Amino acid sequence: MTQLDAGPIDYLALEFPGARLNGEGLKELVDLTERGIIRILDLVVAVVADDGSVAAVALADLDGDGQLDLALFEGVSSGLLDEEDIAQSAALVKPGDAVGLLLYENTWAGPFVTAMRNAGAEVIASGRIPADDVVAALDALESA
């Protein structure tokens, strides 16, 4: 991946209360990947023990259907997420919960960015507006 064809890189930290991972939502993650919309760079699931210690868990059959739900992503690791990232994310959840970390490239944007650079433009900033802020702003508009 060169700078010219890389899309923006984002991450998500997901809380799983009671460390219950049932596979819900994995179909969408696989679909986004197979359609080339995103590329998974890192995928880590860690459980926070009652004593606060953190242990990464192996990808498994999350929905109990006998098949490895995340086989497509098994061993995916860019090296961008490290132990400190996992510990910081784990600190956001309570003991007994699990945290999932997903680092992904928005591959859909790569060709657009490349085309803009070829036209003489440069990406000078990028960012993310938290979904809660967008919902609150839209709710405020609706009630106005």
- What would the pLDDT profile of 62-102 be if each residue is shown by its tens digit? 555 655 556 666 667 788 888 899 999 999 999 999 999 99
Q: What pLDDT, in 10s, does the model give residues 27-76?
A: 788 889 999 999 999 888 899 999 989 988 766 555 556 555 566 666 67
First and final C-alpha spacing in the chain: 46
Domain count, the chain: 1
List of residues 6+ apart from 87 with CB closer than 8 A:
54
Phi, psi of 63 (to 5 degrees): -105, 5
Q: What is the pTM of this model?
A: 0.77
Nearest to 87 by CA among 58, 57, 59, 52: 52
H helix runs in 69-126, sequence order: 83-90, 110-118
Nearest to 30 by CA among 87, 2, 68: 68
List of residues 6+ apart from 93 with CB closer than 8 A:
15, 16, 48, 99
Give yes or no for a contact between 87 and 13, defined as CB atoms under 8 angstroms apart. no
For residue 79, the enclosing domain spans 3-143
Q: How many Cα atoms sit within 13 Å of 113 on the Cβ side? A: 19
Question: What does the DSSP 8-state code read for residue 77?
Answer: B
